Structure 1
């Protein structure tokens, strides 16, 4: 039954995505904020499909902690889920993402129109400068910059592997940093077909005000996010019960 429900959701999820991508092509000619409203609607339909077909619900905590206006949201990254499911909770979000995604037909066109912040991982210091300038421009416009500070998806329970690029952004942007913990990887495991029933919990933690020394940010994020992530991980394991959760990576993996 788990495999069948997962198959039904995956087929519906990607079919739904294709329909939205094609049907909303005229939106590329309209203002960006209208496109972002469509993105929020698509995210909500995807969450609905996940709940109805896979039995995976969503619980959100700490929405009142989201700052008004520009901020830097530092989020745990365990699966594809958070790349779309976080969108409805921000007034005008933009993601820091791999530059290569911007060149995918159809999907990449929407990323360009939405003014996402691309980063060329092979571009060195010059690419970092361009990414920082673009992020600062979006933050000045009151947008929420969403970044996954570990850089790539990490399995639930894995040791933290935060990159110091977020400290550079925090120092340059001068906006609050919003820590975000979640346990999505227990229910939408990375690189796997299975979608487990249960409750994904995302928790917006109290924001870190601007002005901390650059070297203090990553330790502060770890001290803030990781205890919450472990707590949500334990909650998710208790709900999964006998189902075998993904195994955490060993240190250095």
Structure 2
């Protein structure tokens, strides 16, 4: 049954992506606000399909911890779900994403037009400066910059060293840094076809204190996210 429900979801996912992506091509000629509305619609439809086909509910805790205006959201990354959900939740998201993703036809066009922030991992100093300029402009425009400090999806139960890009963005923009934990990998595993019914919990934590040096910020960010993720993982999957 889980296999069949997962198949239904995947068919819906690719169908929604194709239809919305093609229909929305004319918005590429419009300002970025139109592209953001399209990506939000796409994400909301995917989350709805996940609930209907598989039986997944999403529970967000700590909304009161998210300051208004420009902010940096440093989010745990266990699943592809994490790259979708913030598009549906935030008013003005700007993801930090691999430059290669922007080369994907249709998807990349919309992502670029919606103001996503490309990063070239092999580009060295010039690439980092370009990312910081884009992030600074996004924060100044009131966007919520979403970055996954692990740098890649991390399987449930594993830990990796956090990448310093998040503290570079924090220092360059002066924006509050908000840690976010999740247990999404229990439902939607890393590179897994099967999607399991249950509750995906997202915990938005208080912003990190101002004035931390880079090493202390990265250490505090990782400890808060990982410890909260462990607590979420210990909760019953259904609730």
Give the alignment's TM-score, normalised by structure 1: 0.91
Distance 2:129 2:210 in 1: 20
Match of 1:222 in 2: 222
Match of 2:103 in 1: 103
Match of 2:61 in 1: 61
Distance 1:17 1:139 in 2: 28
Shift of 1:209: 4.1
Distance 1:17 1:159 in 2: 31
Match of 1:50 in 2: 50
Structure 2 gaps, min length 5:
none
Match of 1:251 in 2: none
Other structure's SS at 1:72 match: strand
CA 1:33/1:211 → structure 2, altered by over 3 Å: closer, same or farther? farther
Distance 1:91 1:65 in 2: 16
Structure 1 residue 201 corresponds to structure 2 residue 201: yes
Point out 4+ residue stretches in structure 1 off by more than 3 angstroms: none
Which runs of structure 2 are paired with 1:1-253 in the superposition (5 Å)?
1-235=1-235, 238-239=236-237
Shift of 1:239: 2.4
Distance 1:99 1:164 in 2: 18
Structure 1 gaps, min length 5:
241-253
User: Could you say what the CA RMSD is over the residues aligned between the two structures, in angstroms?
Assistant: 1.2
Deviations 1:76-127 (A, max 9, x none): 0011101111122222110000001111111111011011110111111211
Other structure's SS at 2:207 match: coil
Distance 1:6 1:88 in 2: 21
Other structure's SS at 1:195 match: coil
Give the alignment's TM-score, normalised by structure 2: 0.96
Of 1-10 and 40-49, deviating more is 40-49
Other structure's SS at 1:161 match: coil
Deviations 1:140-177 (A, max 9, x none): 11111100000000012212421122111111110100
Other structure's SS at 1:86 match: helix
Distance 1:208 1:29 in 2: 39
Equivalenced residues, count: 238
Distance 1:69 1:171 in 2: 17
